[in-house]
Structure 1
């Protein structure tokens, strides 16, 4: 429950809302118990043809009689003490004196209340009954309004808490490095962000709503019962230990089952995401039946987890109801014995100073019965609290993850003109046993264009991911102008870098805003100029229905691959970065546009440091130097003509042998 307590502390920031909801709960609890107090005047008064003033007169008469009897017993006890002093007699005298003091206080109270009752309360039994009924109706109406206000306040509180928690979760997610983020699948992340968050909201609503209101109603009834006979109430505590044990066992079981069910639900989301992303492959290989079987297996597992939760949830209400019934039956038997036999003791234990009346005992029973309904309601929210607790564990388990990037407390400022970039004996691995980069050293001068070629999996993209600090090297360092990247602010570094990747991602926004992404202050004319340089302006204005205001769709799915890449290139051009990284950025450009894009890149890389991951000979000719990589190492560095002469791997990758043969 520690993580759920963290959610509760977020809610406590909204102090006025919490205070107002608690005040409403206190009012509801008081009125709830007050309604049960009506049993006493009805049973002891109205049912015997008396109004409240007549009842008070009877109490005064009985109290005078009790005091007279106590005076006689006290005098006799003192005579016994004078004749023979004994501890038992002294104890008896102390009890009698205590009863006498209590009776005198009760008599003073009744004598004070009698004139007020005669003046303001009905003098007939029927009038008393009607007054009691009207008071109950009025009390119920006020209690109803308080419940409505309380429910609205608690709903507001829970949704404000959810809003703040989602904001923190989203911000924390964006701050994590790519390596940490990739430890969690998108499906699992979406489950934490949606389903788990909703359960935290429901749990918070239950915690600050019924979890406060219903116990307060129980406490109000317990106080009312204790005022009648705290000794008789104490008998109910006999059943407390087994009930606490049963509830604790159910709580642990429910939380464990909920945590497992949430994990299974994440698997469902992951499979759905994988299916929708790979639907073309599934259909191409006619694997629909296989995917249906996989989905059925995962869904079946989630179904079994859900049924386990339903089983534990079903146990809660009957268990609490049985415990409450056992308590009530025990107290009814004890109280009935005392009233029917006009006893003040039970099993030798003094329960009350004077015999209880039918009305008093009925009100005591009503107070105990008033505890059962709140207890039943609490059992109904038990699963919400446990699910909220399990969901908060999953949410904060992710939020508590630390980024693997070393953040310096005293970052160095980058100069206005960036110096040379150096990779110094860099090694990197995603998994400890799998080295992706092995002792890579490379120096790049300012304004130099470097092309990187190599077979798939040789570490090209990984090497470039170190430059904007998506990852930090396992060993070695990357510096710019002699300043280690670890000593810079990440935001300052990335503001000087533009990236265009093969997996072009556009957002579900307009074409203009996607080009402007990363340069939010750019004007409309600057956006158009960047699109023209990337040879995207023509298809934007001629093909897209709304031109630059056309929505690209989720991940840009309303555009072709080539169109997406041109927009991504326009985005990089508009950013005007000092360092440019092109990772297979022209792989989806059609042949007709390749020459045009080649001319754009030839002009755009002038005056800036550029890195190009490509195997296209035309693009390679733009490079000042070409770096050939294989198995995480640099195997050769040189100009195009030099490598074409001496490096077999370069010739194969650039398809130069094929071109020569042709």
Structure 2
């Protein structure tokens, strides 16, 4: 019932969406004017035909008449062609602006949005849903506009010529509406389901293809094929439902056309024989009938497509109306070399268990703070709060005496350098990855210097294309250690004041770890550094170690202090020492 109730008020969201794209009013008015001119000319043609039939004789034909008649056809074709092109141009511009607006919005949406929406569904909004809107505006709207003008003009002329015969003709149309309106409602329901299923299928494709190595390593091809095949079957089912509705609409329109022709020719023949109507007028009636029925098919197609567009519009508007990050509000960070203080910090995800509870600690500028503890304790979430991906549910984080919320978000994040365990790279060259996110052009000398500091220049130089070597999707053509060193070089180029290292060496072998650790030392020099680490070698020399378990800070101090006061840290350190000794033996 709800789905059927929505279409009645569904014009407003679409018009609002179109209004946000700011279409060219001048071009739109010109296109509509040309369309009106072309349609008015087409309305004159049956009248010329009427006069030609009623007064037909070879002797009455002249070159002037033939030239005028041909000129009218050419003028009508030119006006219609230009108006159609302009309306299409307006439609294409509207959709281009819509996609641009949607893309800009997607980049401004906060991390919690992406936590709650699958990537494939979001991609579907950008591609499939905007494609549905594009088809309505660029293709169906053009025919709808010209069709409406043609129908109204033809009916007006027919009433002027013979109102009785026109009334009889129009009496057939409500019969068709009885069938077409329910079919339109069914088309809306089916089309909305089809769009949702398409989004789900896109999600499955994105997930499987982006992790295809995992699929193959786990021999999961059969499982994923079954899951994808189920989605394809569902899409096929929706496609058949849509085809059944369209199969009913087309014959119905043909039936209405034939019924109208029979009524007009039959009733018109009686009126011609009685002298109430001339033969030319009957021919004109039939021509006007064609100018009514043919656009009616186009108008029906418009409403069918419109039903599809309603669901797409709702989903697009839901994204455009979602709260976004304010990158420009607040003051710029003038001094990042100040202490970071965390006071009674708490956080939990929406409808979830607490992740952090009343954390209190202070990070002095230029020092190294290591964060250790069992997995799932909230260490990475703490980093996310520092970068303001999430808002704390309690407490504050301050830089100096100011809350970090008071700073401009773009300026705040520019103070950070982040090197994670994953070391994400974009598809492109090594140079593209090193310079990623830089506002100004970076010199070759600066790039090489950063690579040398990160111990990456040697292996980059040995590659066939050097810094112009393609790294592949997610950097798959490089080893883990190479990706880490490129990530470190990228952070060096950014010259951050605050550095965050999230288990940056945990996935590396001992040999790679030694090189990366040396690169990290260069990166950490003179910077305020926070390190999440499981390896003792990473934290033993830290100025301060924070032990977090189950979201709570259970101990803080230097390595030696925690060995004496914190039993769980002692256990952690002992395990790491044994692991380090084992790796050393294996390496030897």
TM over 0.5: yes
Secondary structure in 1 matching 2:87:
helix
Secondary structure in 2 matching 1:438:
strand
Distance 1:659 1:286, change over 3 A: closer
Deviation at 1:152, TM superposition (A): 2.7
What are the residue-to-residue correspondences of 1:457-496 with 2, within 5 Å?
457-496=376-415
Secondary structure in 2 matching 1:518:
coil
Q: Does 1:203 align with 2:136?
A: yes
Deviation at 1:371, TM superposition (A): 0.9
Deviation at 1:410, TM superposition (A): 6.3
Q: Distance in 1 between matches of 2:22 and 2:51?
A: 42
Q: Do the aligned partners of 2:366 and 2:527 also contact (CA within 8 Å) in 1? A: yes
Deviation at 1:331, TM superposition (A): 4.7
Q: Distance in 2 between matches of 1:304 and 1:652?
A: 59
Alignment correspondent of 1:349: none
Q: Distance in 2 between matches of 1:648 and 1:280?
A: 41
Q: Does 1:177 align with 2:110?
A: yes
Q: Do the aligned partners of 2:548 and 2:555 also contact (CA within 8 Å) in 1? A: yes
Q: Do the aligned partners of 2:46 and 2:287 also contact (CA within 8 Å) in 1? A: yes
Alignment correspondent of 1:389: 310
Secondary structure in 2 matching 1:154:
helix
Query: Residues 407-448 of structure 1: CA distance to partner in whole angstroms, max 9, x if unpaired?
Result: 599624433244321222222122323221122222222222
Q: Do the aligned partners of 2:435 and 2:490 also contact (CA within 8 Å) in 1? A: yes
Q: Does 1:604 align with 2:537?
A: no
Q: Distance in 1 between matches of 2:161 and 2:362?
A: 89
Deviation at 1:134, TM superposition (A): 5.1
Alignment correspondent of 2:150: 217
The structure whose Rg is larger is: 1
Q: Do the aligned partners of 1:224 and 1:364 also contact (CA within 8 Å) in 2? A: no
Alignment correspondent of 2:323: 402
Secondary structure in 1 matching 2:204:
helix
Secondary structure in 2 matching 1:535:
coil
Q: Distance in 1 between matches of 2:365 and 2:480?
A: 32
Q: Distance in 2 between matches of 1:600 and 1:296?
A: 48
Q: Distance in 1 between matches of 2:301 and 2:332?
A: 58
Q: Does 1:303 align with 2:219?
A: no
In structure 1, stretches of 5+ residues that fail to align are 52-123, 343-354
Q: Do the aligned partners of 1:598 and 1:618 also contact (CA within 8 Å) in 2? A: no
Secondary structure in 1 matching 2:526:
coil
Alignment correspondent of 1:573: 492
Distance 1:153 1:280, change over 3 A: same
Q: Do the aligned partners of 2:481 and 2:513 also contact (CA within 8 Å) in 1? A: no
Q: Distance in 1 between matches of 2:580 and 2:321?
A: 58
Distance 1:529 1:588, change over 3 A: farther
Q: Distance in 2 between matches of 1:321 and 1:485?
A: 68
Distance 1:386 1:206, change over 3 A: farther
Deviation at 1:239, TM superposition (A): 4.1
Q: Do the aligned partners of 1:206 and 1:385 also contact (CA within 8 Å) in 2? A: no
Q: Distance in 2 between matches of 1:222 and 1:23?
A: 20
Deviation at 1:397, TM superposition (A): 1.7
Q: Do the aligned partners of 2:384 and 2:390 also contact (CA within 8 Å) in 1? A: yes
Q: Does 1:265 align with 2:198?
A: yes
Q: Do the aligned partners of 1:317 and 1:379 also contact (CA within 8 Å) in 2? A: no
TM-score (norm 1): 0.80
Query: Residues 515-571 of structure 1: CA distance to partner in whole angstroms, max 9, x if unpaired?
Result: 1223343322111111111111011001x2111122223322222222111111111
Q: Distance in 2 between matches of 1:238 and 1:659?
A: 89
Q: Distance in 2 between matches of 1:645 and 1:11?
A: 65
Q: Does 1:562 align with 2:484?
A: no
Q: Distance in 2 between matches of 1:425 and 1:548?
A: 46
Alignment correspondent of 1:539: 459
Deviation at 1:305, TM superposition (A): 1.2
Q: Distance in 2 between matches of 1:571 and 1:12?
A: 39
Q: Do the aligned partners of 1:644 and 1:656 also contact (CA within 8 Å) in 2? A: no
Q: Distance in 2 between matches of 1:247 and 1:416?
A: 68
Alignment correspondent of 1:287: 220
Q: 2:90 aligns with which of 148, 152, 157?
A: 157
Q: Do the aligned partners of 1:582 and 1:613 also contact (CA within 8 Å) in 2? A: yes
Alignment correspondent of 2:39: 29
Query: Residues 283-303 of structure 1: CA distance to partner in whole angstroms, max 9, x if unpaired?
Result: 333232222211111111111
RMSD: 2.6
Q: Do the aligned partners of 1:643 and 1:650 also contact (CA within 8 Å) in 2? A: yes
Alignment correspondent of 2:299: 378
